[in-house]
Structure 1
Amino acid sequence: MPEPILISISAALAAKTIVGLVDLVRRKFAKDPAATAALEAAQAAPEDPKAVQALAEHLDTTEKSDENFATALRSEWEKASVSQQAKSGKVVNQISGDVSGKVVQAGDIHGDISF
């Protein structure tokens, strides 16, 4: 099972929101048809949790076999994470570090939230 951060990275890759991250992964996956197919499937259906999970699993395997890639991937993610900005009418939600407990990520909330 991939780390939660890899799920987040995969979701960003699927949505193509971080160009440098997409380019890094695309280059790394270029010689791996299964990984490339997972990236393309996630990008074709970024709302599909199974596609995002499959991509995260490929990232996990690739990170474990290539320490340099793992370092580059985390570095690119860190750069993007600290510089995210919401465009007009959009929302950026960010959670980092060791998180436990309940979290809500949302744009506008009208009314109460309860767990």
Structure 2
Amino acid sequence: MAEPVLISIAAALAGRAVVGLYQFVKARFADDPDATAALEAAENLTEAAEDSEEVQELGRQLERVESEDPEFGKRLRAEWAAVRLHAETGGVTNQVSGTVHGKVVQARDIHGDVSF
């Protein structure tokens, strides 16, 4: 079983609660088929529960990659520390970067339609 903090990170990644952190991990996992498969399986969950097998496996993959790449581990934990409270309390973190063509909506709970 992975370290509890890595399971919390895995659950946040599965729910895409922290977009910047998700993008960071996805980029690092890009050349690792096992880690990528774990990330994709976890993000396909309807609810990212920490005790789900997919989140547990993603936590194990984070732990493995962290042991192979200590710099990744340091940055992962630093990023998590910066956003942890926000992610754990159900906050929304949106990040828009690069050139955007069109409209962007930043919202938390939307009940009903959104139209432009």
Q: Structure 2 length normalisation: TM-score?
A: 0.70
1:77 correspondence with 2:80: yes
Aligned pair partner of 1:59 in 59, 62, 65: 62
Give 5+ residue unaligned stretches, structure 1: 86-90, 94-115
Structure 1: how far apart are the matches of 2:55 and 2:35? 12
Aligned to 2:25: 25
Post-superposition, which runs of at least 4 consecutive aligned residues in structure 1 deviate over 6 A? none
Structure 1: how far apart are the matches of 2:37 and 2:31? 11
Identity of matched residues, %: 45
- How far residue 35 of structure 1 moved from its aligned partner, in angstroms, is 0.6
Aligned to 1:9: 9
Structure 1: how far apart are the matches of 2:10 and 2:84? 14
Structure 2: how far apart are the matches of 1:19 and 1:75? 15
Say which SS state the counterpart of residue 76 (structure 1) adopts. Answer: helix
- How far residue 5 of structure 1 moved from its aligned partner, in angstroms, is 0.4
Aligned pair partner of 1:68 in 60, 68, 71: 71
1:92 correspondence with 2:96: no
Q: Structure 1 length normalisation: TM-score?
A: 0.70
- How far residue 51 of structure 1 moved from its aligned partner, in angstroms, is 0.2
Amino acid at match of 1:5: V
Structure 2: how far apart are the matches of 1:79 and 1:43? 22
- How far residue 23 of structure 1 moved from its aligned partner, in angstroms, is 0.7
Give 5+ residue unaligned stretches, structure 2: 91-116
Structure 2: how far apart are the matches of 1:58 and 1:67? 14
- How far residue 80 of structure 1 moved from its aligned partner, in angstroms, is 0.4
For the aligned residues, what is the CA RMSD? 1.8
Structure 1: how far apart are the matches of 2:15 and 2:4? 17
Higher relative contact order (CA 8 A, sep 6+): 2
